Amino acid sequence: MLLNSKQVAIVGGGPGGLILARLLQLKGANVKVYERDVNKDARLIGSPLDMHEGSGLTALRTANLLEAFKKNFRPGADRKLIVDEQAKIFFSDHDTKPAEDFDNPHFHPEIDRGPLRALLLESLQPGTMVWDSHFMSMEAREEGWLLHFKNGSSVYADVVIAADGANSKIRPYLTSIKAFYSGVTMLEGNIPDASNAAPHIYSLLNGGKLMAYGHEHNLLMGLKGNGDLTFYASFKPAANWATDSGINFSDKTQLLAWFKNEYAGWSNIWYELFENAATPFIPRPIYCMPLDQSWTTLSNLTLLGDAAHVMPPFAGEGANMAMLDALELSEYLTSGQYGTMQEAISAYETNMRKRAAAAAKQSLDNGERMHSKNALHNMLSIFGGHHN
């Protein structure tokens, strides 16, 4: 095996990095995961993840973790409503959603980020995780790299795999290509104890997720297993809106006034979101890597997930792509099909970039549909609803 006697450093403990560590350990590789979080109990923000057959679920199955996943996913959380700006329901699959069926390729079970991380962590060998390891820099050393962390520690690795997300500090060691602004910004809010704090929206959601479309703006939301409600106001401002708007994102009064103005014509039912959210809100300008990106392959460094191909979230492929990257990379490195590390990584990167470009194009196209004047009609045509 190409990784015999090599020390592998995975930087980043998200779904992609963790399942790669699991898959490589199953093949006998020597792996460490360096994660900036202080410990396993660090709070994970963001909406739940839906796993897809052919990517996330396939990676979990190959890692012998499907049964653990089945014990932790949230049945029914993938049910959805599509409404207009007045909260009028145009599509619901709450009564027609088929039973949870892991043999159905169209079944996309949802899981919260915390339980997914927990089951992946539990699958790793003791000592694999190195917490409180905020990557700062690295330098070529012998055949590999010497990595330096914010806590003052330094480690050597023969192979470094960057799984450190959209703002990867390792990516510049491989390529100078940068992501471009997609034209969309999503303002994230979170409401703890939503059943009491936002009872009208909570009742409307009925345990699933909701997508509201109107006037080239969206509201997207769903519940977490702990009862929190995460929502996103998705719209198309300038790239630097978050800094130029003058909004204090810790001031709910300002945010509600902004919503009333920016989402003019929307029902006051949505005010409940902004009146009861925890602060600060988080503005998230959405970026995408160029679809034709390429770089010169190295024998001791590669990328996966958002570090390699950050893309808009409008196809639900982010975590799934990262986990598929991990699955394919593990196979390229351990199958014995390639004679050198460089050949194996080159084959992985070529396939990964092609696959990611197709997913990114789909996400960009969906983003345009979702923020168009005919967004409600466009999305109903995809999900099979109707628009009078």
126-141 pLDDT per residue, tens: 999 999 999 999 999 9
Q: Cβ–Cβ contacts within 10 Å for residue 180, how many?
A: 11
Q: Indicate whether 99 pLDDT > 70.
A: no
Task: For residue range 323-334, list pLDDT tens digits in order.
Answer: 999 999 999 999
Share of the chain above pLDDT 70, in %: 98
Q: Does 50 count as an annotated binding residue?
A: yes
- Residue-wise pLDDT for 52-83, tens only, equals 999 999 999 999 999 999 999 988 888 899 99
Q: Is 208 a residue whose pLDDT tops 60?
A: yes
Q: What is the pLDDT of residue 209?
A: 93
Angle CA 40–42–44, to nearest 5: 110
386 has a pLDDT exceeding 60: no
Mean pLDDT value across residues 158-175: 98
Q: Which of 22-26, 71-75, 106-110, 313-317 ranks highest by mean pLDDT? A: 22-26
pLDDT of residue 318: 85
Residue pLDDT, tens place only, 359-370: 999 999 999 999
Q: Pick the closest to residue 160 from 309, 10, 34 (CA basis).
A: 10
**Widest Cα–Cα separation across the chain:** 67
Is 290 or 77 the better-scoring residue by pLDDT?
290
| DSSP category for residue 265 | T
pLDDT at site 76: 81
Is residue 44 predicted with pLDDT exceeding 90? no
Architecture of domain 180-288: 2-Layer Sandwich (3.30)
For residue 388, what pLDDT band results from cuts at 50, 70 and 90?
very low
Whether 365 has a binding-site annotation, put simply, is no
Q: Could you tell me the residue ranges of all domains in the chain?
A: 7-74+111-177+291-366, 180-288
Tens digit of each residue's pLDDT (9 = 90 or more) over 241-260: 999 999 999 999 999 999 99
Nearest to 318 by CA among 300, 301, 302, 305: 305
Residues in CB range of 358: below 8 A, 6 or more apart: none
36 is in an annotated binding site: no
Q: Please give the backbone phi and psi of residue 158, each rounded to the nearest 5 degrees, phi first.
A: -75, -30
Which runs of E-coded beta strand occur in the chain? 7-11, 30-34, 49-50, 80-84, 89-92, 110-111, 129-130, 135-141, 144-149, 154-157, 159-162, 180-191, 209-214, 217-223, 229-235, 278-288, 301-303
Domain 7-74+111-177+291-366 superfamily per CATH: FAD/NAD(P)-binding domain (3.50.50.60)
